Structure 1
Amino acid sequence: MSQPDGRNYYSILGARTDASREEIERLYKRLAKSHHPDRGGDEEEMKAINEAYRVLRDEGSRVAYDATRDHQLAAPAFIPSTSPSAGADAFGGRVAGALLSLVAGLTLLFLVRFHYVVFLWPLALLAAALIVFAVWTAHAALGYAREGTTPANPLRRLVWAQEAVFWSLVVGGVYVVYQLLTAI
């Protein structure tokens, strides 16, 4: 039982909300005679009349329709949209998550390296996994920011440049970390 385009089945048939089944049937037959496509009526109007009659003639579907109709009438006329900063909050959260993962991963990696404890290699693997996760999260944040812009925005046309800069920073960061780990 659908209610496309917010149609009011009672108004389609011209019935009151407390109309009896016989009255709904009488109204349907009168409208069907005048709106039937074989008699020069509009096919879409006849489909709407048939759907309204199908819903309102059966007591169970009528009760369900009335319940959804009452719920729709009780819904507020103004539905607030999301706040303008909702997109920025989501982007900031992704970036903050990436930075926290990166800091935690690098901290673990340097702790394992500077303590010269061989049996801490599982922590080194965890650190590497955190760093990879941070890079993945940062890349997802970049894609999220790019998709949030309008199609005419130049950021959407320069995807290759953004990717080149991002991966250059990642490779440069890996090289710096490697130099720090081998220098000591």
Structure 2
Amino acid sequence: MSRFDSNKDYYSILGAAEDASRGEIERLYKRKAVEHHPDRGGDEEEMKALNEAYAVLRDEPTRAAYDAERELPEAFSLDSGSTPPYSSPSAQADVISGQCVAALLFLVVGLVLLFVVRFQYVLFLWPLALLAGLLILAGIVHAHSAMSNVRETFALSHPARRFVMAQEMAFWAIVGGGCYGVYFILRYL
């Protein structure tokens, strides 16, 4: 069984219907091959695409596998830039509320650890201060993720989807202000 690319539409390359018979596919391939053959002034890349389409569609098991793979819904992937499909709006709300709670928990625990280390004046607690910093960083990442997921719930025409840069600047300004506030408390109190 030869390998195929399920993202390519081999039927449209050959100009065939999806329910075309093997003989019909062969006839269409021969007609297109005569038109696009490089020896007759056709494009070599088009001929390669025709040959690939014909190789997949002429073999029944390969064609069945190709058709089955094309019918599968596109799975969520990180590089697709889309959000995962949810079964209901409440499932998406559960994800967002979980991210908000996780962000709040990370921030509170991180700040408590940081203040305990600072106000105990014990130098050997520096690993705890490092852990506190990592927890605060994890809280910031969760908060940013929750903000991004909330933005994705809005329609494309909603202003929240159009002013992404303003939201990002406001978020990072709040983070920067919070970091300065924590620094001020640790330094001068």
Same fold (TM over 0.5): yes
In structure 1, the residue matched to 2:113 is 108
Offset of 1:85 from its aligned partner?
A: 1.5
1: CA distance, partners of 2:159 / 2:96:
19
Offset of 1:117 from its aligned partner?
A: 0.8
1:171 maps onto 2:179 in alignment? no
- Three-state SS of the structure 2 residue aligned to 1:85 is helix
Structure 1 residue ranges without an equivalent (≥5): 1-50, 56-60, 62-80
1:123 maps onto 2:128 in alignment? yes
Any idea what the Cα deviations from partners look like across 1:15-35, whole Å, max 9, x if unmatched?
xxxxxxxxxxxxxxxxxxxxx
**RMSD over equivalenced CA pairs, Å:** 3.9
2: CA distance, partners of 1:168 / 1:115:
30
Which amino acid is the alignment partner of residue 109 of structure 1?
L
1: CA distance, partners of 2:135 / 2:145:
15
Offset of 1:148 from its aligned partner?
A: 1.9
- Which residue of 97, 114, 119 maps to 2:102? 97
2: CA distance, partners of 1:83 / 1:164:
31
2: CA distance, partners of 1:95 / 1:165:
17
Q: Which has the larger radius of gyration?
A: 1
1:162 maps onto 2:173 in alignment? no
Any idea what the Cα deviations from partners look like across 1:37-68, whole Å, max 9, x if unmatched?
xxxxxxxxxxxxxx9xx99xxxxx9xxxxxxx
TM-score norm. by structure 2 comes to 0.56
In structure 2, the residue matched to 1:139 is 144
Residues paired across the two proteins, number = 140
Structure 2 residue ranges without an equivalent (≥5): 1-56, 62-85
Offset of 1:137 from its aligned partner?
A: 1.0
Which amino acid is the alignment partner of residue 147 of structure 2?
L
In structure 2, the residue matched to 1:181 is 186
1: CA distance, partners of 2:88 / 2:144:
25
TM-score norm. by structure 1 comes to 0.57
2: CA distance, partners of 1:134 / 1:122:
18
In structure 1, the residue matched to 2:93 is 88
Offset of 1:147 from its aligned partner?
A: 1.5
Identity of aligned pairs, percent?
50
